[in-house]
Structure 1
Amino acid sequence: MNISRRTLLRSSVAASAASMVGSVAGPAFAASDSVTIASLYDLTGGLNVYGAPSNMCTEFAVKELNKAGGLLGKQVVLKAYDCQSDVNKGPQYAQQAALSDRAVMAVGALTGAAREATRPVLHRYKVPYFYGSIYEGGACEQNIFCCNTEGNQQVVPLLEWSFKNLGKKLYYIASDYNAPRVFGLWNHVMAKREGGEVLADDYYPLDVTDFTAAIAKIQAAKPDFIHSCLVGGPSMSFYRQWAAAGMLNKIPIISIIFGGGREPEILSPQETNGIYVAYNYFQELDTPQNKAFLARFAESMGKDHTYINGEAIGGYTTVMLWAECVKRANSFEPEAVRKAWESGITWEGPGGTMVTDGPTHHTIQDVRIIRVQDRVWSLIETKKQNPPNTYDGRCNVIAHPNQTEWLMPQT
C-alpha cells in the first residue's frame, strides 16, 4: 500500500502546470457568500466502515457552523467526494477540490497510503489539510494539521497500562502495511521502556481470512497479552476464530484500531467481550460536553445514527479546529490559518480539551483506555493532555518551514 515519492511526482496529479501552483481559494471566496471545504473519505469499498462515519461527523460539523451563522459571515459548503477505498482517488479529487471547487480546506484520505498520496497535492495548491484519522505519527510539514491521535499519544498510554496490568510478554499481530509496521516499532520502544518483551511481530495481508495458523503460533508462544493491529473487514475473522478456539477469556487482547471499524457492532459479544482499546473519544463518555454533543447530533443527524467512535470523531474535530483557526485569524487564507494554529488554540470538544501544538502541527489531548462488554464501552483509565511526539525536536515546522521529512520512532 506504500506509494513512492517518485511515483507521486510522475503522476499527472502532482505535475500540474507551475502557473497554477499556489493558493487558488482566495479570489473565489472573497466576493462570495459561501466557502467550500472538501472531504475525501471512502464512502464505498472496503474502507467505508471507517470513512462513512467520519464523513457523517464532518457533515454535522458543517451544520453546526452554519446554524451558528457560518464563518466570517459566510455559509460553509461541504463538497464530499467518495474515494471508493482507492488510494489513487485521493490525489485526483484533491486536485479537483483545489482547482474546480476552490476549497479553502480539505479533510479525509484516511489511510496512510491515501494520506501520503494526497498530501503533496494539497501542499502544492496550498489547501490546508486537516487530517482527522488516528495514525502512526511522523507527518511533519506546514500544510498538514493532525487533529486525532498519533503514534505515541495512543499506543504509549495503552502499552504503559498493559505492561503494568496484563503482564510483560506481548505478541503483536497486524495487517501488513505501513501504519501497523510503525505501530509495531512502538511495541519495541515501550517494551524496552517498561521492562517487557515482544515475543513476535506477525504480519498478514489485508485480505487474509484464515487465522488458524496464526492462532496456533500465539498459543505456542504463550504471551501475557496480544496487541492486535488487524485492519479491515477480512480481519474480523481473527476475532471469530480466536473466540471459537476458546481463547478470548484466556489471553487478553489490546488494540489501537479495534472498534474504529464498528467491530463490536458487527461481531457478537461472545467474540469481543473484554478487549481493551485506547481512543481519545468513545460515545459512552460520561461528561456534560459529550452528552450535549450527542443530543445535538441526534437532533440533526437522526437518533439511529451510526456509533461515533474515536476514528469517526476526527471528522468533527477537524472542521471545528479549522473553524477556530479561521475565527482567530479573521481570515480563510492558508497562511493566516496556519499562524492561528501555531499561536496555540484551546478548544473544548466532546472528547474534552484539545490544544493545537504549533511546532508539530498536532494536538494535545486526552486519551482513554476503555473495555468492551456486551457491545458497550466502559472507561478504565484516562491519560490527561497527552502531548504529540516531537521526535526529539526533529519535528518543528516553525523553525524549519520547508520540512516535509517523514519521521519514525527511535528504537
Structure 2
Amino acid sequence: MLLKPSGWMRLAFIAGLAVTSLVANITDAAEPVKIGLLEDASGNFALATIPKIHATQLAVDEINAKGGILGRPIQLIAYDTQSDNTKFQELARRLVQTDKPDVIFGAFSSASREAIRPIMDRAHQLYWYDNQYEGGVCDTNTFVTGAVPEQQFSTLIPWMMQKFGKKVYTIAADYNFGQISAEWVRNIVKENGGTMVGEEFIPLSVSQFGQTIQNIQKAKPDFVVTLLVGANQASYYEQQASAHLNLPMASSVNVGQAYEHKRFKPPALKDMYVTANYVEEVDTPASNDFKKRFHAKFPNEPYINQEAANAYDAIYLYKAAAEKAKSTNQDAVRKALESGGICTEGAQGKVCIDPKSHHASHTIFLVHVKDDHSVDIPKVWDDVQPYWLGKVGCDLPNKPDHRQYTPSNLPKKS
C-alpha cells in the first residue's frame, strides 16, 4: 500500500511486512539501498497503476529474500501521487531533497513523467519510467522499460491496414501521449499507402462520445485507432458498441493497461487489436511462473497488466546494473547501463536495455479481443528493439541530452 503525502509520511518498508522478513539473509549493519516510488494508488489512473505498485513490491520482496542488492536490503520509500501532476512534483522534490534515494521509479501518464523529469535532471537523479508511452525521451538520467511506437505502431498499423483496409480514423487523448502517438500513426499510415480520414483529440475530462461516434460514422474508416486514457475516456467503448459502430479498433494502450476486456460488458471491445509487451493471457512458462508468484502475494489482484511486468523488470534491471557496477553510486550504475549487456528474464521473456537510448527491447504480442471478450494472440514479434531514437541521433553515452523528440522534431545533427 502507498501512503498519501499527508504530513509527508513515508513508507520505509513494504507495508504489512516485518523488517526481519524483508532483510532475511542480510547483515544487520548493511546500509539499505533506497528505492523511491512515485505511483498513483488513487485517482483517475489508479486502476491501471496499482498492479505496477504490487509488481514493484513483489520484486523488492524477492530480492530482499535472496540477500538484497550487493548484500544490502532494499528500503522502499513509496508515495501515492493521486493521479495529480502537482503532487508528482511535490513528492519528487521530497524524495530528491529529503529522502535522497539511490534510484526513483514511477509515473503512469506521460504528463506526470514530464512534470517530474526536469526535477530529476536538475538533481542528476537516476530515474526509471516503467510505462508504455509515445516515445522520444532521450535523457541522460531516464531509463524506460515500457514499449514505444517503433515497437507497437510499426507492427500494429501495417498489420491492420493489410487485414482491414487503408482508411484510418484516430481518436486520442489530448495531451503529449495522444498527440505524439497520433503523429506516429499518421506517418505510418502514409508510409504504407493509407489515408487518414479523421483525427480527434479528446480532453481527459470527456466521457460522452456521441459527436465523435457520429463523426466516425460519417468518415467511414476501415478501422479506428483508439489512444484513449483514464476512466472517463474509457466510456467510449461501451458507447460505440451501443451505437453499433461495428468497426475494428487498434490500440497501443487498451487491454494491456486497464484490462477493459475484463471490466466492460461484451461486445464493447469486440475486434480490438492491441500490441502489448505483456498481458495476463500470455501462456508461456515465463508468464505462468510470474502469474503464480504474483497471485500468491496479491490474490485479490483482478488483472496483471503490461505495466506490472514493466515495473517488475525495471527493478531487476536496476539490480543487474548495480551488481555490474559493484556499487549503487548513481554515476556508476548509469555507466554500467550504458556499457551494454544489462538484461533480465521477466514475464514476457528476455528484456535488455539499449545503451544509446536507455530504452528496453520487448516481445510484442498482438492481442485480439473476441466477441465474448476472451482474447487470442494471432501474432508475436520477438525481440523488437527500440531502434528509432538511436537511428535519429540519440546517443546518450557519447552525447548527454535531456529532451523529448518526435518524428517532426528530430535531434540536431552535430
Distance 2:295 2:109 in 1: 28
Q: Among residues 167, 172, 189, which one is paired with 2:165 in the alignment?
A: 167
Structure 1 residue 32: Cα displacement: 4.2
Match for residue 396 of structure 2? 397
Output aligned runs, 1:5-404, within 5 Å.
32-247=30-245, 250-259=246-255, 260-302=257-299, 304-344=300-340, 345-373=342-370, 374-388=372-386, 389-390=388-389, 392-401=391-400, 403-404=401-402
Distance 1:73 1:400 in 2: 34
Q: Does the Cα contact within 8 Å between 1:81 and 1:93 map onto a contact in 2? A: yes
* Residues 375/68 of structure 1: CA separation in 2 closer, same or farther (3 Å cut): farther
Q: Does the Cα contact within 8 Å between 2:356 and 2:390 map onto a contact in 1? A: no
Structure 1 residue 85: Cα displacement: 0.9
Structure 1 residue 123: Cα displacement: 2.1
Q: Deviations over 1:124-163 (max 9, x none)?
A: 2232101101010111011100111112211221112111
* Residues 377/68 of structure 1: CA separation in 2 closer, same or farther (3 Å cut): farther
Distance 1:245 1:129 in 2: 44
* Larger mean Cα displacement after TM superposition, 310-319 or 222-231: 310-319
Identity between Structure 1 and Structure 2 (%): 33
Aligned residues: 377
Structure 1 residue 79: Cα displacement: 1.3
Unmatched runs of 5 consecutive residues or more in structure 2: 1-28, 410-414
Distance 1:66 1:143 in 2: 25
Q: Does the Cα contact within 8 Å between 1:132 and 1:314 map onto a contact in 2? A: yes
Structure 1 residue 73: Cα displacement: 0.7
Q: Deviations over 1:158-195 (max 9, x none)?
A: 11211111211110011211111101111121112211
SS of the aligned residue for 1:362 comes to coil
Distance 2:176 2:143 in 1: 20
Distance 1:66 1:113 in 2: 32
The aligned amino acid for 1:56 is H
The aligned amino acid for 2:69 is L
Match for residue 18 of structure 2? none
Normalising by the residue count of structure 2, what TM-score does the alignment of the two structures yield? 0.88
The aligned amino acid for 2:350 is T
Q: Deviations over 1:10-67 (max 9, x none)?
A: xxxxxxxxxxxxxxxxxxxxx7431221111111111112221211111111111112
Q: Deviations over 1:177-228 (max 9, x none)?
A: 1111101111121112211111111111111122111111111111000000
Match for residue 3 of structure 2? none
The aligned amino acid for 2:295 is A
Q: Does the Cα contact within 8 Å between 2:136 and 2:389 map onto a contact in 1? A: no
Structure 1 residue 391: Cα displacement: 5.8
Structure 1 residue 230: Cα displacement: 1.2
The aligned amino acid for 2:352 is V
Distance 2:314 2:267 in 1: 35
Q: Deviations over 1:275-334 (max 9, x none)?
A: 1111001111111111111111122222x3231112332221211111111111111011
Q: Does the Cα contact within 8 Å between 1:282 and 1:377 map onto a contact in 2? A: no
Distance 1:176 1:282 in 2: 26
Structure 1 residue 232: Cα displacement: 1.1
Distance 1:326 1:36 in 2: 13
Q: Deviations over 1:109-133 (max 9, x none)?
A: 2211111111121222232101101
SS of the aligned residue for 2:234 comes to helix
Q: Does the Cα contact within 8 Å between 1:189 and 1:410 map onto a contact in 2? A: no
Distance 2:133 2:212 in 1: 25
* Residues 377/311 of structure 1: CA separation in 2 closer, same or farther (3 Å cut): farther
Distance 1:156 1:78 in 2: 37
Q: Does the Cα contact within 8 Å between 1:38 and 1:107 map onto a contact in 2? A: yes
Structure 1 residue 269: Cα displacement: 2.0
Distance 1:64 1:111 in 2: 27
The aligned amino acid for 2:314 is T
Q: Does the Cα contact within 8 Å between 2:96 and 2:125 map onto a contact in 1? A: yes
Normalising by the residue count of structure 1, what TM-score does the alignment of the two structures yield? 0.88
The aligned amino acid for 1:148 is G
The aligned amino acid for 1:312 is A
Distance 2:144 2:251 in 1: 21
Q: Does the Cα contact within 8 Å between 2:248 and 2:270 map onto a contact in 1? A: no
Distance 1:336 1:306 in 2: 39
Aligned-residue Cα RMSD (Å) equals 1.6
The aligned amino acid for 1:269 is P
Match for residue 14 of structure 1? none
Unmatched runs of 5 consecutive residues or more in structure 1: 1-30
SS of the aligned residue for 1:33 comes to coil
